[in-house]
């Protein structure tokens, strides 16, 4: 059995030979976009990576099935996914979204919610935590999320006023004016 993971989103066509700019959404672009790798577009179409290279801040990818710019332009905006073994884990202290989604969120020993999804922003990833009072966004950084225990099914968030309960935020007033 395999699962599909999002690895990128296709941007604009690059040049006239069918190359495409790809917004990378994986920590392993050299692996997922290696020549010969297979990816699936959001429309269900399977593509084979023929070549990939960095071009400034972008990854430029050429797929074997896309011969020219006209064909490349039809893929603009498509999400790219790759099949992975569910037991596979990323390198180092990284996690797949599917591993985090559904985990209990704790502050100390108290369960305050569950991870509904992970949002990937340019600066950092955000955990979207479903709480009894609504969704809360928690930056997924070690200083705020010091422990992730996949086996136990939970992660720990620091007890910072306003992080999980916005009504508990400390109000800072400037009395100088």
Which domains, ranges and CATH numbers included, belong to the chain? 3-84 (2.40.30.60), 97-166 (2.30.30.240)
**Over residues 83-107, mean pLDDT:** 82
Q: Which residues are within 8 A (CB) of 14 and not within 5 positions of it... i.e. 6 or more apart?
A: 20, 21, 55, 58, 60, 72
Q: What is the pLDDT of residues 85-94, one digit of tens each?
A: 777 766 667 7
pLDDT at 117 (0 to 100): 93
- Model-wide pTM > 0.85: no
**pLDDT: which is higher, 42 or 151:** 151
3-state secondary structure of 31: helix
Q: What is the pLDDT of residues 139-170, one digit of tens each?
A: 999 999 999 999 999 999 998 888 888 777 76
pLDDT at 111 (0 to 100): 94
Q: Which residues are within 8 A (CB) of 15 and not within 5 positions of it... i.e. 6 or more apart?
A: 69
CA distances to 13, 14, 46, 147, 172 from 53, rounded to whole Å, are 14, 12, 20, 35, 48
- The answer, yes or no, to whether residue 177 has pLDDT greater than 60, is no
3-state secondary structure of 30: helix
Dihedral Cα 92, 93, 99, 103, nearest 10 deg: 160
Tokens linked to 72: 């490349």
Long-range contacts of 108-116, Cβ-Cβ distance < 8 Å, separation of 24 or more = 108/156, 108/159, 111/154, 112/157, 112/164, 113/164, 115/155
Task: Say which range, 58-62, 134-138, 159-163, has the weakest mean pLDDT.
Answer: 159-163
What is the distance between the alpha carbons of residues 11 and 72, in angstroms, rounded to a whole number? Answer: 10
Mean pLDDT of the chain: 88
């Amino acid at each position: 059995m395999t699962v599909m993971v999002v690895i990128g989103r296709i941007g604009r066509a690059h040049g006239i030979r069918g190359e495409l700019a790809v917004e990378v959404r994986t920590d392993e672009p050299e692996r997922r976009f290696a020549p010969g790798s297979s990816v699936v577009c959001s429309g269900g179409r399977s593509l084979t990576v023929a070549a990939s290279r960095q071009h400034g801040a972008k990854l430029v990818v050429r797929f074997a099935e896309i011969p020219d710019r006209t064909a490349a332009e039809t893929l603009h905006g498509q999400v790219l996914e790759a099949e992975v073994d569910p037991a596979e884990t990323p390198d180092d202290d990284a996690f797949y979204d599917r591993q985090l989604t559904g985990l209990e969120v704790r502050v100390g020993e108290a369960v305050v919610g569950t991870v509904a999804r992970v949002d990937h922003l340019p600066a950092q990833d955000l955990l979207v935590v479903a709480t009894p009072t609504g969704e809360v966004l928690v930056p997924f950084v070690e200083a705020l999320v010091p422990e992730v225990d996949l086996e136990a099914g939970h992660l720990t968030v620091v007890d910072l006023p306003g992080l999980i309960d916005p009504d508990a935020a400390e109000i800072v007033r400037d009395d100088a004016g």
